[in-house]
Amino acid sequence: MKEREKMELILHPKSEIDSRTKRLQSRMEDLAGAILFQSVDMLYFSGTAQEGLVYVPADPGAEPVVMVRKSLERAREESPLEVAPLRSLRNLKADLGVPEGARIGLELDVLPFNNYARVERALGDAVLVDVSERIRHVRSVKSEFEIRLIREAARMLDAGIGSVPEHLREGMAEIELAAQVEAEMRRMGHQGSLRFRRFNQELPMGHLMAGPNAAYPSCVASPTGGVGPSLLQPQGPGFRKIRRGEPILVDYGGVYNGYTADETRIFSIGPLPEELEDAHMAALEVERAAAEALRPGSSGRRVYEISEARGEELGYKDHLGGPVGAKCGFVGHGVGLEIDEIPVLGPVDHEILPNMTVAIEPKMIYPGVGVVGIEDTLLTTDEGPERLTGLSQEIWRV
């Protein structure tokens, strides 16, 4: 109860909004401005996620225009910017001062077509282009304000995952144990969900699966899937009973005031088969190799190639990241307001810069048996990565 009483909504200072706006404006050479509708991007560039839009003009001397339909009153309390009412998109061109024939950026990776069509009609002869990648690159480098919140998310994760031994018992259902872990984090302020920037990809608070369920295939863009509680949520914990001598995967995203950290630990009731114990130690070796390569000046592709090479050298090519033919294709990802941010540690050339928060997650998948492995959130610095998630990385035997 004390933790919940200490929890408070943290507003985004105007200095934060100004800095973010300037960084996006520096990438808008060919645009007159960008209109942002997605709630995460709205929060990032205005300080509120209430329903509406943010218009970021390319002019470096101009502030964003924030227009909100619901709740206008709350948006004015949350945003350090002036907030105007959004009554209709029909007058958008005049309301925003969009010039004739302007090139305007939209979040075309997430914006529904109906919204796009309405904006297109409202702006007339404007040329609409995708600005989502520029936004994602701006958001990939975190400020001290953001890093502080992600550190709190990591602390929340350590407390939640670290509570597993208090609740774990043989014969309980996966979803029963998940409810206990999630309750610990909800008491500390977890928002109860994770944001994922992918169509048809909705994440629960985490994946907690035991034995073969952890290796059960699923639609989610993750090394692990799980059976899940329903056909509409075919991932994460289900109703299978946890048994002695099998790996229990506990993979959660902690969220503090919107900001995410990601962590995985393996638990077991009694010892695991030697093959899985060895595979877990190999996963730790892969994480160490990837973390050593996670330095400014490197790239997501380079880190991924190093992790793959280390996994193959250790003899786990057919298990690291998934079985042959079903590999996830990455070993890590950025975290922030969303859990799938840039940089991707995969076959893409995302540059590693200082002050990125990145989750590295080498996992060994054994279909029909289970999953072992590790995941930690790290902060990139010029001196090397700092691990923000702090639990012991060994298998936790209960």
Specify whether 134 is located in the same domain as 165.
Answer: no
SS3 139: helix
pLDDT for residue 89 is more than 50: yes
Please name the amino acid found at residue 361.
E
Please name the amino acid found at residue 81.
L
Beta bridge partners of 358: 334, 378
CATH code, domain with 123? 3.40.350.10
- Exposed e or buried b per residue across 235-248, where buried means at least 16 C-beta atoms within 10 angstroms of its C-beta: bbbbebebeeebbb
Specify whether 184 is located in the same domain as 65.
Answer: no
Provide the domain limits for residue 164.
Answer: 141-397
Specify whether 148 is located in the same domain as 54.
Answer: no
Specify whether 201 is located in the same domain as 325.
Answer: yes
Query: In degrees to the nearest 10, what's the CA dihedral of 62, 68, 73, 76?
Result: -20
How sure is the predictor about 173, in pLDDT bands with cuts at 50, 70 and 90?
very high
Number of domains in the chain: 2
Angle at 86 between CA 202 and CA 9, to 5 degrees: 55
CATH code, domain with 217? 3.90.230.10
Residue 7: per-residue pLDDT: 45
Residue 201: per-residue pLDDT: 87
Query: In degrees to the nearest 10, what's the CA dihedral of 76, 80, 82, 86?
Result: -50
Specify whether 114 is located in the same domain as 193.
Answer: no
Contact predicate 22/55, CB 8 Å: no
Specify whether 134 is located in the same domain as 207.
Answer: no
Specify whether 134 is located in the same domain as 167.
Answer: no
Look at residues 103, 120, 138 and tell me which one is the last residue of a structural domain: 138
Which of 137-146, 191-200, 284-293 shows the lowest per-residue confidence on average (mean pLDDT)?
A: 191-200
Specify whether 157 is located in the same domain as 294.
Answer: yes
Beta bridge partners of 256: 259
How sure is the predictor about 4, in pLDDT bands with cuts at 50, 70 and 90?
very low
How sure is the predictor about 50, in pLDDT bands with cuts at 50, 70 and 90?
very high
Token look-up 């070796």 returns: 285
Specify whether 105 is located in the same domain as 43.
Answer: yes
Specify whether 210 is located in the same domain as 149.
Answer: yes
Angle at 113 between CA 94 and CA 337, to 5 degrees: 85
Q: 151-161 pLDDT, tens per residue?
A: 999 999 999 99
SS3 206: strand
Specify whether 125 is located in the same domain as 166.
Answer: no
Look at residues 111, 138, 165 and tell me which one is the last residue of a structural domain: 138
Look at residues 120, 138, 156 and tell me which one is the last residue of a structural domain: 138
Specify whether 337 is located in the same domain as 354.
Answer: yes
What CA–CA distance (Å, rounded) separates 327 from 212? 17
What CA–CA distance (Å, rounded) separates 28 from 16? 19
